[in-house]
Amino acid sequence: MDIKLLTTRTCHCSNIEQELQDLGLAYERCYAEDHPELVERFNIRHCPVLIVDEARVIAVDGLMEGQIKALLASGD
């Protein structure tokens, strides 16, 4: 699974990064400011989001612990 965590430079999403690390998932943190092509391609309006396998976008702002695992497993 290829996971990109798209954030902004002012995003406070350490809890999301911690959950990804706790799950043993490798991910790449990308900043929207540095990757406008991702923002445009996936029509991103809010950060942070996970981009999974260059196909799925999962909004992760405000998720509770454990929800990321469930969303990744569900394939939704």
Contact 48/5 with Cβ under 8 angstroms?
yes
Confidence at residue 48, expressed as pLDDT on a 0 to 100 scale = 94
The residue-averaged pLDDT of 14-36 equals 93
Confidence band, pLDDT 50/70/90 cuts, at residue 73? confident
Q: Is the pLDDT of residue 76 over 70?
A: no
Q: Which residues contact 76 (CB under 8 A, 6 or more apart)?
A: none
Question: What is the residue-averaged pLDDT of the chain?
Answer: 91
Q: Indicate the pTM of the whole model.
A: 0.88
Q: Is 49 exposed, middle or buried (0-12, 13-18, 19+ CB in 10 A)?
A: buried
